Amino acid sequence: MIALPLGCIVLLMTLALVGAVVARTASGGRIVYGGSLAISLALLLIALLSIGGGSSTVTLPLGLPWIGARFQLDPLAAFFLVVVGLGSAGASYYALGYGRHEPEPQRVLPFYPAFLAGLTLVVVAADAFSFLFAWELMSLASWALVMSHDREPGNANAGFVYIVMASFSGLALLLCFGLLAGATGDFSFAAMQAAHPSPGIAALALVLALIGAGSKAGVVPLHAWLPLAHPAAPSHVSALMSGVMTKVAVYGFIRIVFDLLGAPTWWGGVIVLAVGGITAVLGVLYALMEHDLKRLLAYHTVENIGIIFIGLGLALAFGANLLPAAAALALTAALFHVFNHSVFKSLLFFGSGAVLTATGERDMDHLGGLIHRMPKTAFAFLIGCIAISALPPLNGFVSEWLTFQAILLHPDLPQWGLKLAIPADGALLALSAALAAACFVKAFGVTFLGRARTRVAADAREVDGYSTNAMFVFAALCLLAGIFPGAVIDLLAPVTQALTGAHMPKQLDVAWLSIVPVETARSSYNGLLVLVFVTISASLGVLAIHRFASHALRRAPAWDCGFPDPRPQTQYTAGSFAQPIRRVYGAVVFRAHDTVTMPPPGATAPASIEKHIADPIWDALYAPIAAAVWWMSQALNHLQFLTIRRYLGFVFAALVILLLALALWQ
Amino acid sequence: MISGFAFDVSHMLAGLLVLVSFAMLYQDRLYAVINVLALHAFVLAISVAWQAHIQHAPHLYITALIALGFKAIAIPMALRRMVFRLGIHREIETVVSIGLTMLAGIAMVALSLMVMLPVTAHVDPVAREDISLALSVVLIGLLMMVTRRNAVSQVAGFLSLENGVNLAATGAQGMPLVVEISVAFSILIAFIVVGIFLFRIRERFDTVDLEALDRFRGERR
Amino acid sequence: MTETLVLAIPLLGAALLALIRDYRLSAKINVTASGLALIAALLLLVDRPAAGQFLAVDDLNIVFILLSTFVGFTTSVFSASYIGHELEEGRLTPNYLRFYHAMFQLMLFGMNLALLANNIGLMWVAVELATLTTVVMVGIYRTHEAIEAAWKYFILGSVGIALALFGTILVYLAARPVVGEGIDAMVWTVLLTRAHDFDPALLNVAFIFLLLGYGTKVGLAPMHAWLPDAHAEGPTPISAVLSGLLLNVALYALLRFKVLLAANPGAIAPGPLMIALGLLSLIFAAFMLYRRRDIKRMFAYSSIEHMGITVFAFGMAGPLGNFAGLLQMAMHSLTKSAIFFSVGHVAQVKGTQRIADMGGLTSTHPLLGWGLIAGVAAIAGLPPFGVFTSEFLLVSSTFAREPLLAILFVFGLLVSFGALFLRVSSVAFGEPRGPTGPVTASYVPMFAHLALVLIAGVWLPGPLVAWFQHVAVLLG
Amino acid sequence: MAVIPALLVQGVQMALVLLLAPLLTGLTRKVKARLQRRQGPSVIQPYRDLKRLLHKDVVLAENASWLFRVAPYVIFAVTWVAAALVPTFATGLLFSWSGDLIAITALLGSARFAQALAAMDIGTSFGGIGASREVMIASLAEPAMLMIALSVALIAGSTQLSTIADYMAFSAVGLRVTLALGLVALVIVALAENARIPVDNPATHLELTMVHEAMVLEYSGRHLAMIELAASLKLLLYVSVIACIFFPFGLAHGYVIGLIAYLLKLAVAGVLLGVFEVSIAKMRVFRVPNFLGAALMLALLGVLLRFVSEGM
């Protein structure tokens, strides 16, 4: 089976070259995106077919000469290949329409298939070299895509932060693999699995994997590149980066920590839990402060990565205490959320891309009322918003519910650290879910509802069929995964079986298609039934109204307590919507405060309000590092301007010091 | 085996070279430096000739001749003319005071003895003395280059450094290619001296003072 | 016989070029001679001559020779397309071009001689020859800056070369009691077989001098000062040759002596010294990259950085470390010269080397711009290029052995990575700045180098790996 | 086949909550009025209100979208389903396992989501103010609710309300710190979620203090009826949840006793709520977070203290 994905990768690489050639032609976009779509669908099919099967490996005479390039398709890889295939198929299809608006297609077309190839290659790589090769290739290709709109202000900075962070993540993983491979230089995953590292090494490797894979996934505080890079890239690429690439990073973490490291340790779970909880809450808080639609979505990716890591941390904690069933539940929850997030985040980025195409705006405060002008986009985006807010009956709720069920199993754990950490994480998870809902009320409400705030928003037109179809397909997936979660859970069974030695009970056998994580008496959920219930109740309500109530309907100006203001500027904006939350949470986290300047009574000057928000992580971590590097480079820079005599002095000093050292040593 | 007398003489000559190096370090006038430089090369020439004699290595006489003709006579003359023609200040600007420089020079000698004497225990005595004193000369030459601002005196420092290396080369008994090496070195020196002329550093930079030369650095425009 | 061809062709070429006035013809001859030298070097693969007293070919230097002749050849092709523009601009006169071409071949001769030499004295002489020729080339524009750069290069190089000679003499002194007087005590092949009997203390002192002496030519901090200016002020083909070849030649000399030390059980391990200097160079250069305004000077600092990496790798030693070092060195030669090829044309288009005056290159000159980006990505250690392979091996193997060193090393890599991308993205992206006229460039050398680096990143040929592994064992 | 009767009981449950909900609201209002020495409207006044609203025309703002018109039905349906999932007079109803306490919380979240969006749809500043305050309050109330669910589930070993109620009714649970904290927290959450004093005032007409009322400002006629009914249902739901977790008396003794017990519990709750509301003043909006934050902390503390009480 492994040969097929590799074949797809070769095809994608070829397509990248073709893309470079045909980029400037009229049909270039169709060729590249059509080809990518076909290959992605093939990948998806291959992955779905092979997820239940065993693993198949192949060694090619490439890469490091003495071990070759190894590739493997096991259940874990197959599952993530599903995510990659699905995400890239969607993005490619969407791009068939969206890509037509690209001003400089030659900056996108060659790199797009290469990016897809990199994503796929990471998942199937089975030795450290191939893995990192693919990992960095993925970063490089996506960097090129981030830089595709290079003349827009801020994008250069975005690309810079992104590539440096990507390199940082690659180097951290490199150190991690160096640790796992030992001095022998056997970098194949098989050898690493066989070599049981000592606890100290395993601990360090876990931390390095968390740093390396985490910074690519967007774990706080290593998330800084996401809100910069995602908005800069074209929207179908944003969808891929957010929906798929961060998942591939999660894959890297799972591969290293669950597969290569061997037996987990409980405090490893504590670390991952802590990081996950903080990431989830901070991610969503950042998102709430945002008024750029794509940045908001990027911060939500951070939040969802946090949720995934909570699940992974739980799986580690349970796994370390030999509770495989609970670990399988937690891991299933995490992987389910991986799938879900890739679907709804792609959908949301498609939607934001559609808005961008229609209006040229990403700033929500310049939008509004798009539900009238772009009904299809609005509907699909709404589905995405509900899904990401973890509301039933859509898919986001299911995975968060499963995570909660895993949290509920924590009294079985013996360690006090975990007993205290897990409920706290539960609170953070709940908080992030509630805040996410708040944030998407804001996102949808400000962008699509109300009245148009600008001319461009008022003149927006619905986007092309490819884009809307792509959104509808993903919206349908959100619903399907929400009402038939058992199918996804059963699909994940071989994966968790391979990684934790257990899997959740088979769900499709449960009556009424409910899902039952442990046993019926404990907890169960049935998305389908909830949907049917709600539909029936709503229908009953509608019927009753039609039967008994007045049908009359009058259109009139909005009442607004009697003094409506015709100017759309008086509507709530993203900033004003978030004001209560900013005041409650932001005052602590972001040192947020509003300055109101009131003119004295009688004066005709306008009052003004100014909001101040600091980014604590940037200020505390990135800014000092940047300043230190800058200071250091400044401090050393005068060494460029010395006289020859002084340079000779260096040589002289080096000589004397070395001789002295030698004399003393002897 | 080399006799005690031969050893004494070569030892004395090598010591003399170190002494002359110190003398050069002591000078603060350009002409004086050039004179001492000539003396330095002269002592080297004698030393090399002595080595040729005791090692029965006639090719070393060529090296000695090069040292005498080229370094002791031609180069100092060229330098003197240059100082005259270019109107270079006769004073040498030193970076640290002469006294401190001398102290540093003594430290260099101590260092070279400290490094060399233990490690050359198995080498024959002539080479041993020569090598450790040659190292002193090299280090003092480098010290001279580092503590003088003036290009000509830096060239003088480099020449004395190079004389030290030559001393070591000839002291190493039976070393092949010594002549070739000394020729190659002479070319290098000629390049330096001619370079100052050819690049017309005076014309372009007003002075051969390297501090001034260094002002023209690409990054400070 | 073949090895003399490798030497004779450039030497004859130099003589011939010294006589020819027409610069177009001499450019062609230059290319031809370099190409012939490359062919001769390739012949060495088939027919490896026995080691003589003066010349020898073995697994170590054949890698260097091939690399050297190849880069020499591609640079001559690049130079042919480069100098025409310089003549038009009036930066060079036909007379100077004649001189330039002759010197180019002479320089190649010097480098090949240094690589082929089986005699430490001969090698020293050859390195000095190569230095002198490059000094002249660096100063060929005769601007204030060029002369200053050449002068700095010359003085520092001369001191370095003198120190190297002192070290060489000490090696001879160490060898003499064992091997006996005369030429044999300076012949590599002989030295190597007898090295275990040498006086280790003497070898230690010798190594310090050789490390600082040849290290000056390698461009290791704190002896690096000549390198940035020499790269920035000379003609770009010379920058390419300096980075791609001369540094390697000096490194090669250093490696030879390292092998010698490694063969002596009593000598100090040269590793720690090389690691220290390598790390110092890497981190220092990484920080220096940030404030550069001149694009060629920036890439010169990047060369210092990479030489630091390479020396660090050889210092770490072990089969993996040495392998990584060799690969790093080869990849750096190819990549850095490719970068200089690109930068050369960029500077010609823009009429300046100031980074601030360049911008939007991928829009105005896509091939140059993307070529530059590919080169920078390669030099920064990103796949699919070969530097990634060597840095992968180096970091991972170091971390398993010396975690602290690996972290410092990774720190340096990251800092330099940031600087390179910071600068290159301002050159390659954004609003176009500066003149945007067409360029008559030969893209073949640049893309040939990049293609090779790319192939090496994906697949290393078996024989090459075998050599490298053999040499890695040899290096201890 | 026991499905038919089971389905029937489930249907009764749904009808029951729908019918009783306005009554509870009316009872509370009446108690409040009497305590304020007013006559107050009849307890069945909410039914009359609904009827009147149903017969009125809908006046729709000009730029209202489909979402604005669909939202009332969604809110109503979702709240109704959630209410139907809570055991009222009996446990183990047919569909009770289709959603647990977490799902119920999330369903209410869906209703709130729809409500807040609808409030934003017209593009008035009052809609915005209501929605933004509502989500702020919810952002604290919902986690608190989930933490309560967690602490209860840890004791009962289930998040299924039926199972919890059975466990609470039959096992020797005793008085536990966790439960006490959970009860206090749940009451706070219930007050907040139902827009009661001190968090919000269901009867206010001062715009700047409104939360829930500000959101429904633009609704009229049958749409408003749906929303009012949903609000009543929600109040009933919370009372039911509190009753079935903390006061599960009568649930296990057959439908009749269960029903009587349930009605009694509702009556007590309605009176208590009225008494509470008249005896306390409304808070400023920005003191609400502290109030709810306290609930969240109490619930979390309850979870953590559970280990302590288990150790005793």
Residues D18-30 have a mean pLDDT of 93
pLDDT tens digits, D235-286: 999 999 999 888 888 877 788 888 899 999 999 999 999 999 888 888 888 8
Chain C residues near residue A115 by CB distance under 8 angstroms: none
What pLDDT does B206 receive?
36
| Residue C369 confidence (pLDDT) above 70 | yes
Q: Give the structural domain span for B162.
A: 4-216
Distance from CA of D270 to the nearest CA of A (A): 26
DSSP-derived pairing of the beta strands A608-612 and A69-73: unpaired
Among B115, B139, B217, beta carbon nearest to A641: B217
Q: Which of 171-210 (A) contact C at CB < 8 A?
A: 171, 174-175, 177-179, 181-183, 185, 187
Q: Which chains touch B (3 or more CB pairs under 8 A)?
A: A, C
The answer to whether position C149 is within a domain reads no
Does A644 sit within 8 Å of C155, measured CB to CB?
Answer: yes
Burial category of C28 from C-beta neighbours within 10 Å (exposed 0-12, middle 13-18, buried 19 and up): middle
Over pLDDT 90: what percentage of chain A? 64
Contact between chains at C125 and B177 (C-beta distance less than 8 A): yes
AA identity, residue C442: S
The answer to the question of residue B221 being in a domain is no
Contacts of C203 (CB under 8 A, 6+ apart): C170, C171, C174, C260, C261, C264, C267
* Position C374 in a domain: yes
The answer to whether C and B touch (≥3 CB pairs < 8 Å) is yes
Residue of chain A minimizing CA distance to B113 = A663
Residues of chain A numbered 527-586 and touching chain D (CB < 8 Å) = 529-530, 533-535, 537-538, 540-542, 545, 548-550, 552-561, 564-565, 568, 570-572, 576-581, 583-584
pLDDT of residue C437: 81
| Confidence grade of residue D205 (pLDDT, cut at 50, 70, 90) | low
- pLDDT surpassing 50 at residue D1: no
D110/A386 touch (CB, cutoff 8 Å), yes or no: yes
Average pLDDT, integer, range C33-40? 93
Q: Into how many domains does chain C fold?
A: 1
- Separation of alpha carbons D234 and D237, rounded Å: 5
- Residue A175's SS3 state is helix
Which residues have C-beta within 8 Å of that of residue C8, sequence separation ≥ 6? none
- Name the pLDDT band for A257 (thresholds 50, 70, 90): very high
Distance between CA atoms of C234 and C232, rounded to whole angstroms? 6
Q: Do B158 and C159 touch (CB under 8 A)?
A: yes
Name the most confidently modeled range: A93-102, A346-355, A645-654, C320-329: A346-355
Mean local confidence (pLDDT), A558-568: 78
Q: Which of B145, B210, B219, B221 to mutate to test the interface with C (most CBs of C within 10 A)?
A: B219
A632 at interface of C, judged by CB pairs closer than 8 A: yes
Q: What is the mean pLDDT of residues A88-114?
A: 92
- Residues of D with Cβ-Cβ distance to A390 under 8 angstroms: 106, 109
- Give the gap in angstroms from C-alpha A386 to the nearest C-alpha of chain D: 8
* pLDDT at res. B138: 92
Q: Does any domain span residue B68?
A: yes
Give residue-wise pLDDT tens across range D61-97. 888 999 999 999 999 999 999 998 888 888 777 777 7
Q: Which of C166, C205, C229 sits opposite B218 (nearest CB)?
A: C229
Mutate to test the interface with A, among C233, C372, C382 (most CBs of A within 10 A): C382
B173 falls within a domain: yes
For the cut 60, the answer to whether the pLDDT of residue D310 exceeds it is no
The mean predicted confidence, pLDDT, of chain C is 89
Residue C199 in domain: no
Contact D159 A522 (CB under 8 A): yes
pLDDT tens-place values along chain B, 221 residues long: 456 787 788 888 888 999 999 998 888 788 888 899 999 999 999 998 988 888 888 888 888 888 888 888 988 888 888 777 776 666 666 777 888 888 999 999 999 888 887 776 766 776 777 788 899 999 999 998 888 877 778 888 888 998 998 888 888 777 777 777 777 777 777 777 777 655 555 433 334 444 444 454 444 43
Q: What is the pLDDT of residue D108?
A: 94
Instruction: Report domain extents, chain A.
Output: 267-544, 579-614, 620-665
Q: Which residue has the higher pLDDT, B90 or C327?
A: C327
User: Which DSSP helix (H) or strand (E) runs through A163?
Assistant: helix A155-181
Q: Is A59 on the interface with C (CB under 8 A)?
A: no
Preferred mutation among B25, B146, B148, B217 to probe A, highest tally of A CBs within 10 A: B146
Taking CA–CA distances from B94, the nearest residue in chain A reads A645
pTM: 0.93
Q: pLDDT above 70 covers what percent of chain A?
A: 100
Q: What is the DSSP string of C53-104?
A: SSB---HHHHHHHHHHHHHHHHHHHHHHHHHHHHHHHTSS-HHHHHHHHHHH
The mean pLDDT value for D209-227 works out to: 87
Query: Closest chain C residue to A175 measured between Cα atoms?
Result: C396
ipTM, two decimals, is 0.91
Residue C463 buriedness (CB in 10 A; 0-12 / 13-18 / 19+): exposed
For residue D311, pLDDT over 50 is answered with no
What is the reported pLDDT for B219?
47
Residue B151 lies in a domain: yes
Residue D62 to chain A, least CA–CA distance (Å): 5
pLDDT at position B209 is 47
pLDDT tens across A600-636, in order? Answer: 888 888 888 888 888 899 999 999 999 999 999 999 9
Q: How many CB pairs under 8 A join A and D?
A: 281
Residue of B nearest to A648 (CA): B146
Please name the residue ranges forming H helices in chain B. Answer: 4-26, 30-55, 59-66, 75-86, 98-119, 125-147, 151-171, 178-198, 201-205, 210-213
Q: What is the mean pLDDT of chain A?
A: 91
Query: Contact C159/B142, CB-based, under 8 Å?
Result: yes
**Residue A24: is it exposed, middle or buried by C-beta count within 10 angstroms (0-12/13-18/19+)?**
exposed
Nearest CA in chain B to C293: B219
Which chain C residues are closer than 8 Å to B119 by Cβ?
199, 201-202, 204-205
Interchain contact A152–C (C-beta under 8 A): no
Compare C266 and C237 and report the one with higher pLDDT: C237
Within A27-127, residue ranges assigned H as helices are 28-50, 75-98, 111-124
Range of the domain at C377: 281-476
Report the number of distinct structural domains present in chain B.
1
Give the CA distances from residue C338 to residues A435, B112, C239, C304, in Å, rounded to whole numbers and listed in that order. Answer: 52, 45, 11, 16
Percent of chain C with pLDDT over 70: 100
The residue of A633, A634, A641, A643 whose CB has the most chain B CBs within 10 angstroms, and thus the best one to mutate to test that interface, is A643
Q: Chain D: list its partners (3+ Cβ pairs within 8 Å).
A: A
Q: Above 90 in pLDDT, residue A400?
A: yes
pLDDT at C248 over 70: yes
Do C410 and A64 make contact, defined as CB atoms within 8 angstroms?
Answer: no
Q: Which of C205, C363, C395 sits opposite A662 (nearest CB)?
A: C205
Chain C hits for B192, Cβ within 8 Å: 154-155, 158
Q: Which residue of D has its CA nearest to A412?
A: D154
- Structure confidence at residue D309 as a pLDDT band (50, 70, 90): low
Of B127, B177, B204, the CB nearest to C173: B127
